């Protein structure tokens, strides 16, 4: 069985300062001051007190990341022992959860001789270059899943933050939805599709994931800043409930500066999925009313990322991790897999 790992850059790279919409690297206070003090000043961080508040947030986030695995395991155990699900059936995958159109797309993707061209003929829309939108779930399943998420949100069970950019949402692994729902969805349905659409960036080799639900509502998170994902392929499904505006937007790949990019807006409709490359820069515009839940699945291919960490652009420096880690794997010898 594969042993999944994390690249050590997770503890130092891509730290998000929400107030300044800036991703930063932190090795030491001296390095950080040299690299970012002038940038922060230009963004409004003018006083020593403001700068010290930034340092406090950085130290807090790095500490959170180093303790994340242990704290997540503790939360998961507590949830399993104390939380009573509202809709037990959503924890076990059933093909009836899926929109018939999506089932047909995947059925074709599994056939001998299936091709990218054939898949594209069956997909609703190419919403932006290599960004695909299609029906994913039934209305009934989306309603039940949102009700389960909100039931958990109201409970006394401990809750982890989905990622550094989303403050409100739920880690599906901690809730117990990973093994029974998300893993078969990735392995049996999304991998055959990604194999045809993204063979150049690991779509054939997806072997792990990070799954979470995010919530956008007034007085909480309204939008999501321009960014790329720690994934080879990303699935983003709009689950509901009722909201206005809040479309996604896509630029170019991460190597292309925003100043040289023309962004394309993509409507995000309830029950529909948007599938894209993880390194494709994107964001979410603010909702203007209501509440929206999204299911996000960062799918990873160790065969791809073992060669080059997508977050630091270096050969990964492996650290032991629980579960899927960040999708890197090591051989029994302890060496990074390079082929």
Which CATH number covers residue 234? 2.60.120.620
Whether residue 236 contacts residue 282, with contact meaning beta carbons closer than 8 Å, is answered with: no
Residue 120 structure tokens = 């594209």
Instruction: Summarize the confidence of residues 181-196 as an average pLDDT.
Output: 98
Q: Answer whether residue 332 shows pLDDT above 70.
A: no
Task: List 264's β-bridge partners, or say none.
Answer: 250
Confidence of residue 226 (pLDDT cuts 50, 70, 90): confident
Instruction: Give domain status of residue 200, yes or no.
Output: yes
Read off the pLDDT of residues 22-73 as tens digits, 9 standing for 90 and up: 989 999 999 999 999 999 999 999 999 999 999 999 999 999 889 988 999 9
Percentage of the residues of the chain whose pLDDT score is greater than 90: 74
Instruction: Give domain status of residue 54, yes or no.
Output: no
Domain hosting 158: range is 94-300
Report d(CA 194, CA 190) in Å as an integer. 6
Instruction: Give domain status of residue 221, yes or no.
Output: yes
Instruction: Summarize the confidence of residues 193-198 as an average pLDDT.
Output: 98
Task: List 295's β-bridge partners, or say none.
Answer: 213, 237
Report d(CA 284, CA 288) in Å as an integer. 12
Read off the pLDDT of residues 273-287 as tens digits, 9 standing for 90 and up: 999 999 999 999 888
Whether residue 232 contacts residue 203, with contact meaning beta carbons closer than 8 Å, is answered with: yes
Instruction: Give domain status of residue 334, yes or no.
Output: no
Confidence of residue 334 (pLDDT cuts 50, 70, 90): very low
Read off the pLDDT of residues 279-314 as tens digits, 9 standing for 90 and up: 999 999 888 888 899 999 999 999 999 999 999 999
Whether residue 327 contacts residue 4, with contact meaning beta carbons closer than 8 Å, is answered with: yes
Identify the residue whose tokens are 């065969």. Answer: 303
Q: pTM of whole model > 0.85?
A: yes
Instruction: Give domain status of residue 30, yes or no.
Output: no
User: Helix, strand, or coil here: 206?
Assistant: coil
Instruction: Give domain status of residue 331, yes or no.
Output: no
Whether residue 239 contacts residue 213, with contact meaning beta carbons closer than 8 Å, is answered with: yes
Read off the pLDDT of residues 126-181 as tens digits, 9 standing for 90 and up: 888 999 999 999 999 999 999 999 999 999 999 988 876 677 789 999 999 999 99
Instruction: Give domain status of residue 307, yes or no.
Output: no
Locate the DSSP E strands across 8-157: 15-17, 22-24, 125-128, 131-135
Question: How many domains are there within the chain?
Answer: 1
Instruction: Give domain status of residue 283, yes or no.
Output: yes
- Of the candidates 91, 181, 95, the one whose C-alpha atom is nearest the C-alpha of residue 136 is 95
Confidence of residue 207 (pLDDT cuts 50, 70, 90): very high
């Amino acid at each position: 069985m594969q042993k999944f790992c994390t690249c050590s850059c997770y503890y130092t790279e891509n730290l998000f300062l929400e107030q300044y919409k800036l991703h930063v690297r932190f090795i030491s206070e001296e390095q950080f001051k040299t690299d970012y003090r002038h940038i922060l000043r230009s963004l409004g961080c003018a006083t020593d007190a403001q700068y010290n508040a930034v340092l406090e947030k950085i130290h807090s986030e790095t500490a959170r990341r180093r303790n994340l695995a242990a704290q997540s395991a503790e939360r998961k155990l507590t949830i399993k022992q104390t939380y009573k699900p509202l809709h037990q059936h959503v924890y076990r995958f059933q093909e009836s959860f899926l929109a018939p159109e999506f089932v047909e797309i995947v059925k074709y993707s599994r056939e001998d001789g299936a091709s990218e061209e054939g898949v594209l003929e069956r997909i609703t829309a190419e919403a932006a270059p290599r960004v695909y939108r299609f029906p994913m779930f039934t209305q009934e399943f989306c309603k039940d899943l949102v009700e389960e998420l909100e039931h958990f949100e109201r409970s006394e069970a401990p809750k982890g933050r989905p990622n550094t950019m989303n403050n409100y949402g739920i880690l599906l692994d901690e809730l117990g939805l990973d093994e029974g729902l998300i893993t078969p969805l990735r392995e049996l349905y999304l991998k055959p599709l990604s194999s045809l659409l993204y063979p150049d960036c690991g779509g054939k080799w997806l072997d792990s994931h990070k799954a979470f639900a995010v919530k956008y509502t007034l007085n909480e998170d309204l939008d999501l800043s321009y960014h790329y994902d720690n994934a080879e392929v990303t699935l983003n499904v709009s689950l509901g409930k009722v909201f206005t505006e809040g479309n996604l937007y896509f630029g170019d790949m991460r190597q292309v500066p925003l100043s040289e990019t023309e962004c394309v807006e993509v409507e995000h409709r309830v029950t529909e999925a948007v599938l894209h490359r993880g390194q494709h820069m994107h964001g979410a515009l603010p909702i203007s009313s209501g509440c929206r839940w999204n299911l996000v699945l960062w799918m990873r291919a160790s065969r791809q990322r073992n060669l080059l960490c997508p977050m630091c652009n270096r050969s990964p420096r492996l650290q032991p991790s629980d579960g899927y880690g960040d999708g890197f794997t090591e051989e029994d010898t302890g060496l990074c897999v390079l082929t």
